[in-house]
Amino acid sequence: MTSRLAALLALLPACALATPDDAPFANPARLNTVRPAALESNWTAMKMPDGGRTAFASISYMLAYDDDWGFGPGFYGTAKGNYGGIFTVGFTGQRRWRLSSNTHLAASLYVGAGGGLSSDVMRFGGGLMLRPELSLRTHNGPWYTGVGIAQIRFPSGNVKSRVGVAFTVGRSMDFASFSPDDAGKPGRSGRRTGLGMDEITLTGGMEQPRASSRTRGGTPYSGRVGKAGAELRQYIAEGSWWGFEASGAAKGGVDGYMEVLGQIGQDWALFGTPRLRFGGQLAAGLGGGGSVDSGNGWLLRAGPTLRWITPWGPSLRLDAGLTYAPTGAYTAPYLRAALSMPLNRTPTLIGDDPGGTVRVHQIGASVMHLPRVRFKNRPDEAVSHLAVNMSSEFSPRLYGTAQAGSAAVGSAGAYSFGLFGLGLQSDPLLGGKLRVGAEWLVGAAGGGGVQVGGGAVTQAEVWAQWLLAERLRLRAGVGQFRTVRSSDQSAPLTHLQISYAFGALQR
């Protein structure tokens, strides 16, 4: 994406050099790739089929294939008008042309799936969303801003905007990684590797809507709302962090509810014990669906947090606080538990760095086909999903995985899901070209008229993966998708996934 690639490679720290008295690092892994990357957000206004006006806000992470082409996962959600709860998840491909030292032209295409708030007037069809864009960007240091033209359309529905003005804010960064072939080797790094996030967290908890909370139909809530989700977090100083969180309804009759928020926080050691920490966190983002009245979609969240960093690496956390929709009719205290697993080693001075072990991480795109899906008010039919996947090895045989996606083909537009779990994999077979494995995931799903009970779902799969290139993987699998209450939904699935693999240090 930028011409700095060669210069960045030349500036790599001598992080993997062994010292004479450091036997474990006699043959260390070395950082072998530094690619440009970018975190980018845009704003696109549009008129909906029912005459109302809204705007889609997005967040995307793009990794450079070379100095001109980039690709990566992204998320779009409505953030204006009374349309909170329309979401899509997918991938963006982008081509850049350098015009001057601080200006570039970008052509992008986002392909995603999702929807929400469907009606006889507003239809998302199968859920597939396309968003082409052409924009001019100006850099100021690592930051850039842009203005251009874009269009949002759901080809199998009637939701389509005119070509209009779109605004972009982004930040250029680097993606440093080890070769996947170095898995299991010791290594050191004076910089973050991979996606640059330090932890992935699985969350589960309950919210109790206050008496003032209402559905979009004006009905008061009764009972509690259960949620399941995940977080990515980066620590910028001891006890200080920023990150992203996403979750969906898993219980309480609001299946199809989804939220994606950015967060910041700080905690401090308790009783002089650095492993036991108390603090607070703030979050803001978009949420809605499942008949929750979130107004224009903006959500705010704040509350205290208690964290215990175990001696073995993972952390356990207990969060409490309040979720609030400023323009809607939803206010709810919450309580949730969280399990955090380290992803990458945070950077330290080389002289102070005890090093780590290189483990393989993967990020990819998936298409999943379910030949028989049960709907609430119409006959069963086939549905295909588009999803974003991430996985991280904990050991050569054990890995953690997460996926988020939505219906893209069929008539289940607005159906979305988020799943996380564990998998087992074999050692490389056929000269390192093949691997087989199995995984089990749990999470939340709903929307699009799909029968999912309270929203809690599970998925099991067996798979085979082929090595196409050093960092490119192709995987095919078969399995079963079902609700926790199997009487609500149970369907076979086939899964095809292509992913980019990279090595990062495990603590």
| Sequential DSSP letters for 245-291 | EEEEEEESS-TT-EEEEEEEEEEEEETTEEEEEEEEEEEEEEEEBTT
Lowest mean pLDDT among 19-23, 121-125, 296-300: 19-23
For residue 24, how many other CB atoms are within 10 A of its CB? 11
Residue 198: what pLDDT? Answer: 87
Residue 466: what pLDDT? Answer: 97
With beta carbons less than 8 A apart as the criterion, state whether 445 and 474 touch: no
Residue 382: what pLDDT? Answer: 93
Cross-strand pairs, 129: 112
Tell me if 350 is assigned to some domain.
no
Please say if the pLDDT value at position 112 is more than 50.
yes
CA distances (Å), 253 to each of 229, 250, 425, in order? 17, 8, 36
Q: Are residues 266 and 207 both part of a single domain? A: yes
Q: Are residues 333 and 395 both part of a single domain? A: no
Q: What share of the chain is helix, strand, coil (3-state, %, to 5)?
A: 5, 65, 35
Question: pLDDT tens, 260-278?
Answer: 999 999 999 998 888 999 9
Mean pLDDT value across residues 4-16: 37
CA atoms of 60 and 166, how far apart (whole Å): 15
Tell me if 471 is assigned to some domain.
yes
**Domain count across the chain:** 3
Confidence tier at 221 by pLDDT (50, 70, 90): confident
Residue range(s) defining the domain that contains residue 388: 356-506
Residue 356: what pLDDT? Answer: 81
Please say if the pLDDT value at position 71 is more than 80.
yes
CB-count exposure of residue 97 (10 Å: 0-12, 13-18, 19+): exposed
Q: What is this structure's pTM? A: 0.87
H helices of 254-396, in order, are: none
Q: Are residues 54 and 84 both part of a single domain? A: yes
CA atoms of 274 and 267, how far apart (whole Å): 10
Q: Are residues 332 and 207 both part of a single domain? A: yes
Residue 296: what pLDDT? Answer: 94
Name, of 183-187, 199-203, 465-469, the range with top average pLDDT. Answer: 465-469
With beta carbons less than 8 A apart as the criterion, state whether 464 and 434 touch: yes
Lowest mean pLDDT among 11-25, 38-52, 93-107, 128-142: 11-25
Q: Are residues 376 and 335 both part of a single domain? A: no
Question: pLDDT tens, 374-383?
Answer: 998 888 999 9
Tell me if 405 is assigned to some domain.
yes
Lowest mean pLDDT among 60-69, 249-258, 381-390: 249-258
Question: Between β-strands 53-64 and 33-47, what pairing exists: parallel, antiparallel or unpaired?
Answer: antiparallel
Please say if the pLDDT value at position 23 is more than 60.
no
Q: Are residues 16 and 118 both part of a single domain? A: yes
Token couple for 344: 């990458």
Confidence tier at 217 by pLDDT (50, 70, 90): confident
Q: Are residues 163 and 211 both part of a single domain? A: no
Tell me if 254 is assigned to some domain.
yes
CA atoms of 36 and 3, how far apart (whole Å): 9
Q: Which of 289, 312, 342 is the last residue of a domain?
A: 342
Q: Which tops the pLDDT comparison, 411 or 281?
A: 281
Q: Are residues 47 and 142 both part of a single domain? A: yes
Token couple for 48: 């909906």
Q: Are residues 156 and 14 both part of a single domain? A: yes
Q: Are residues 324 and 370 both part of a single domain? A: no
Lowest mean pLDDT among 60-64, 96-100, 186-190: 186-190
CA atoms of 119 and 121, how far apart (whole Å): 5
Q: Are residues 337 and 361 both part of a single domain? A: no
CATH of the domain at 430: 2.40.160.20
Question: pLDDT tens, 308-341?
Answer: 999 888 899 999 999 999 999 999 999 999 999 8
CA atoms of 502 and 33, how far apart (whole Å): 9
Question: pLDDT tens, 353-376?
Answer: 567 889 999 999 999 999 999 998
Mean pLDDT value across residues 135-157: 95
DSSP 490: E
Nearest to 246 by CA among 279, 293, 290, 201: 201
CA atoms of 405 and 388, how far apart (whole Å): 6
Tell me if 349 is assigned to some domain.
no
Radius of gyration of the chain (CA): 22
With beta carbons less than 8 A apart as the criterion, state whether 267 and 277 touch: yes
Q: What percent of the chain has pLDDT over 90?
A: 64
**b/e for 103-116, b at 16 or more Cβ within 10 A?**
ebebebebbbbbbb
**b/e for 247-276, b at 16 or more Cβ within 10 A?**
bbbbbbbbbbbbbbbebebebeeeeeeeee
Lowest mean pLDDT among 48-57, 140-149, 412-421: 412-421
Nearest to 198 by CA among 33, 19, 50, 361: 361
Nearest to 149 by CA among 160, 165, 169, 168: 165
Tell me if 348 is assigned to some domain.
no
Please say if the pLDDT value at position 349 is more than 60.
no
Token couple for 169: 């804010």
Residue 371: what pLDDT? Answer: 94
Extended strands (E) in 394-471: 398-409, 416-425, 434-446, 456-467
Cα dihedral 296/297/300/301 (nearest 10): 150
Please say if the pLDDT value at position 19 is more than 70.
no
Q: Is the dihedral of CA 223, 452, 336, 57 positive or negative?
A: negative
Question: pLDDT tens, 440-472?
Answer: 999 888 888 888 888 889 999 999 999 999 899
Tell me if 11 is assigned to some domain.
yes
Q: Which of 124, 142, 177 is the last residue of a domain?
A: 177
Tell me if 191 is assigned to some domain.
no
Residue 346: what pLDDT? Answer: 62
Residue 486: what pLDDT? Answer: 66
Cross-strand pairs, 200: 232, 341
With beta carbons less than 8 A apart as the criterion, state whether 456 and 442 touch: yes
Token couple for 172: 């250029």
Question: pLDDT tens, 29-38?
Answer: 788 788 999 9
CA atoms of 477 and 461, how far apart (whole Å): 6
Question: If you average pLDDT over every residue of the chain, what do you get?
Answer: 88
Q: Which of 316, 342, 368 is the last residue of a domain?
A: 342
CA distances (Å), 13 to each of 17, 299, 347, 361, in order? 9, 41, 11, 22
With beta carbons less than 8 A apart as the criterion, state whether 208 and 333 touch: yes
Please say if the pLDDT value at position 18 is more than 70.
no
Name, of 108-117, 221-230, 410-419, the range with top average pLDDT. Answer: 108-117
Residue 111: what pLDDT? Answer: 96
Q: Are residues 224 and 144 both part of a single domain? A: no
Please say if the pLDDT value at position 4 is more than 60.
no
